[in-house]
Structures are given as C-alpha cells and as structure tokens.
Amino acid sequence: MSNGIIIRTQDLARSFGTVRAVDGITFEVDSGTVFGFLGPNGSGKTTTIRLLLGLLEPTGGRAEVLGADTMRDGDAIRQRCGALLENTGLYERLSAEENLDFYGRVWHLSAAERAARIRELLSGLNLWERRTETVANWSRGMKQKLAVARALLHRPQLVFLDEPTAGLDPVAAAALLEELDQLVHQQGVTVFLTTHNLNEAEKMCERVAVIHQGRLISIGSPDELRLRQGGGRLEIVGRGFTEGVLAALRQRAEVKAVSQENQHLVLELAGEVDTAPLVQILVAHGVQIDEVRKGKASLEEVFLELVKE
C-alpha cells in the first residue's frame, strides 16, 4: 500500500443470508482527504464502515485500512481510527465531560492530555460551558457535536462519520458541518463520510463514491461525476417556445433532454459543450429570450440519475 492511500478495498463483499449488503466494491481513499460515501438508505454504507473497522468479517474480497488487513488486524485499525456510527453512542446518564473522559481513558490518554483535549474540542464546538450537564437533556445537534468530539479525541489518523447530520434541522446541520470542516482541517485527519445529503457531500468531499444496492456505481470528484453523467445544463427564460424549436433542439447531438414549463426551458447537455449554437437556434425560431443561464447539474441530480440507472 502506498503512503498516500489510507483505505483500499478489493471486491469487498458482505452477505447476510441471501442478501448481498455489500457486493464486490473496489475503491481507494487518499490520505488527508474527505471522502464521501453516498447512497440511499439500505444501500450498504453502514455495512461498509463496519467492514472497514474490522467489526464485521467480509464474505468476499478484502480491505486494507491504514496498511492493515481488516480481517487480521482489526484491533490495530481501531486503535488508529475514530468513529461516529449510525447512533451517537453517548452514555446519556453521564455528562459530556464524563463521556469524553471515559473514551480518553479507553485510548490511554494521560489525565493532563484528557483534560486539555476535552477543553480544546468542547471549546471548538461551543460546548465547553455545558460540559457538566447530563447528555440526556441535550438537543440532538449538541449530541452529534459531542459524538464528533469523541471521534476526534485521541487524534486518530482516520475518522469514520456515518451520516453525522442525520436528523438535524438545516441550521444545526450547517453549523455542525462548518465546525466539523474546521476541525478536520485543523487536525489534518482523513475523513470517510457517509451521507445521503448530497449538498453536504458536495461542500466537504474531495472525492465521492456512490453505492446503490451494495454495488459501487460511480467514483470520482463531484465535478468528475457531473461530467460523467453529462452534467451541463442550459436554462432559458423567455417566450415563444414552439414545438418546432423544441424539435430542432432535440435533434442536436449535444442536447440530452429538453423540458419546458411555461416560460422556462431547460436543456440537459452532454458534457461541457459550446452553447452559442443552441442560443442561435432559439433566436432563429423567433424565441424572445429574457435570460440565459448556463450551469452544472447538482450532485443531487447526478446521484438521482445514477441511482435511477
């Protein structure tokens, strides 16, 4: 394994009875990056994390994390990783400080280290003032933040975050992501982030992989995924969109799809293409153009397209 690659899987698979939860996935994650693992509910994201952490044994293929085989060296992997799994995993009867102190002891941090690190992380997440409160009384957003702090407590090289903003309102989710982004960059850790929130993946991830029904269906940077799926689009606001002009546009090779609603025409394009000829067709057919917007499909649209396929 090269120094730059922190996770490498080869045909990794896991079945539960007849269900193939993870079906022969192969991918690599570079060190020091935020890697997004996208997929709808039940697509195999959580099972993949469990496999990578050595919590589950694969039924096929193999995986290496931090240079260690997940089948043989699960303990060594978990030693150097942090994880926020499906649930926050916080002890609700204990205070925030007690929760972190317990996990600090688990990772053999000295008393002084624990105190300093707890202060650093809780202050960074604006939770320091409330450290002595019982976690049970906290909001979901605060619990998620505390769970992120716990995952980073022992300065792991790699952190698995399984849908860290699930169940949070948009404001709390945005705040958590911002704080998480700052922390991740300050600490310089590699993040394996699973989510079905594509906006957050687009904001945070250098590379993303899309998993559906246990299979990896696409991998690359968000831009690469957009490009691969066509990606470009042209939006025209105006009047006079006749059947004739729509038919003329549909005949063009660079136009994948045409949709029109009232005074709004959207052309889905096959990649990065020159749009001037398309505008000329519109003008030639007497369309009165008020506005032309050239844009990219969002990652969400790319994702929906991939999953539909």
C-beta of 78: minimal distance to other proteins in Å?
Answer: 5
Task: State the residues that interact with other proteins by CB under 8 A.
Answer: 16, 50, 53, 55-57, 74-75, 78-79, 81, 83, 85-94, 98, 102-103, 105-108, 150
Nearest to other proteins of 105, 250 (CB atom) = 105
C-beta of 111: minimal distance to other proteins in Å?
Answer: 13
Nearest to other proteins of 105, 140 (CB atom) = 105
Distance CA 109, CA 117 (A): 9
Q: Are residues 66 and 6 in contact, defined by beta-carbon separation less than 8 angstroms?
A: yes
C-beta of 80: minimal distance to other proteins in Å?
Answer: 8
Nearest to other proteins of 93, 293 (CB atom) = 93
3-state secondary structure the chain: CCCCEEEEEEEEEEEECCEEEEEEEEEEEECCCEEEEECCCCCCHHHHHHHHCCCCCCCEEEEEECCEECCCCHHHHHHCEEEECCCCCCCCCCEHHHHHHHHHHHCCCCHHHHHHHHHHHHHHCCCHHHCCCEHHHCCHHHHHHHHHHHHHCCCCCEEEEECCCCCCCHHHHHHHHHHHHHHHHHHCCEEEEEECCHHHHHHHCCEEEEEECCEEEEEECHHHHHHHCCCEEEEEEEECCCHHHHHHHHCCCCEEEEEEECCEEEEEECCCCCCHHHHHHHHHCCCEEEEEEEEECCHHHHHHHHHHC
Nearest to other proteins of 106, 237 (CB atom) = 106
Nearest to other proteins of 92, 291 (CB atom) = 92
C-beta of 52: minimal distance to other proteins in Å?
Answer: 10
Q: Are residues 60 and 24 in contact, defined by beta-carbon separation less than 8 angstroms?
A: yes
C-beta of 117: minimal distance to other proteins in Å?
Answer: 16
C-beta of 16: minimal distance to other proteins in Å?
Answer: 7
Distance CA 71, CA 66 (A): 13
Nearest to other proteins of 50, 207 (CB atom) = 50
C-beta of 232: minimal distance to other proteins in Å?
Answer: 42
Nearest to other proteins of 60, 220 (CB atom) = 60
Q: Are residues 158 and 80 in contact, defined by beta-carbon separation less than 8 angstroms?
A: yes
- In total, the chain counts a number of residues equal to 309
C-beta of 15: minimal distance to other proteins in Å?
Answer: 12
Nearest to other proteins of 56, 258 (CB atom) = 56
